Amino acid sequence: MHWFQAQLTELSRLADEYAISQQQSTSNIINASEKIRLKRAEFIDAVQALVDKVGKIKGISACAAYHDGLILAQSAQLAAIDAFGATVQDSARAAQQGAALLGLGELEQIVVVGAQNKVAMLSIGPLMLCIASPKEINLASVLNRQA
């Protein structure tokens, strides 16, 4: 398994654990709340670590993670963060509607390609991981060569 795919698998596992922790009912609300908080922190820390690593890869312009259009993590050099978030939210909403109409199943990724740059949006649990790069960069290639 390539580096990036392994990272996505780990994030999906952490997202699932966080979701499960939210669904478990218990009579001890303090312990339940602490477990949820710890699972959330573990997930968010892993997201930020991945965003930092991806943002430093040669050929990647920026990386960020969003949930419902709100930023959870961003690489250091992300200009126009609000525009990036709005684009993510609008693109995801339109793609989800289209996927439902076409019977595609759960949305996994969206790629918006412009004349100069592109943004890839990958669905991971409750968030969208967004990677911006120049149009000519092969994201699969640069992401899978990292270790």
Selection from 112, 139, 138, 107 nearest residue 124 by Cα: 107
**Average model confidence (pLDDT) for the chain?**
85
pLDDT in tens, 46-68: 999 999 999 999 999 889 998 87
End-to-end CA distance of the chain: 11
CB 16 within 8 A of CB 125: yes
Domain of 139, in residue numbers:
3-144
Task: Give the domain CATH number at 93.
Answer: 3.30.450.30
Model-level pTM?
0.83
pLDDT digits (tens, 9 = 90+) for 73-94: 888 766 677 777 777 888 888 8
The CA distance from 46 to 137, in Å, is: 25
Question: Does position 134 have pLDDT exceeding 90, yes or no?
Answer: yes
Q: What is the count of structural domains for the chain?
A: 1
Distance in angstroms (rounded) separating the CA atoms of residues 27 and 79? 46
Asked if 143 and 3 count as a contact pair (C-beta separation under 8 A), the reply is yes
